[in-house]
Amino acid sequence: SAVISQKPSRDICQRGTSLTIQCQVDSQVTMMFWYRQQPGQSLTLIATANQGSEATYESGFVIDKFPISRPNLTFSTLTVSNMSPEDSSIYLCSVPSGLKRNEQFFGPGTRLTVL
Query: Cβ(58)–Cβ(45) under 8 Å?
Result: yes
CB of 82 to other proteins, least distance (A): 25
How crowded is the C-beta side of 40, counted as CA atoms within 13 Å? 1
What's the half-sphere exposure (Cβ side, CA atoms, 13 Å) at 9? Answer: 2
Cβ at position 73, least distance to other proteins in Å: 16
Contact stretch for other proteins (CB under 8 A) within 11-19, 63-71, 75-83, 96-104: 96-104
Taking the complex as a whole, how short is the minimal distance between the CB of residue 42 and other proteins, in angstroms? 4
Q: What share of the chain is helix, strand, coil (3-state, %, to 5)?
A: 5, 50, 45
Q: How many C-beta atoms surround the C-beta of residue 83 within 10 A? A: 21
Q: Which residues inside 4-43 make contact with other proteins, applying CB under 8 A? A: 4, 9, 31, 33, 40-43
Q: Where on the chain is the footprint of other proteins (CB under 8 A)?
A: 4, 9, 31, 33, 40-45, 48, 56, 58, 92, 94, 96-97, 100-109
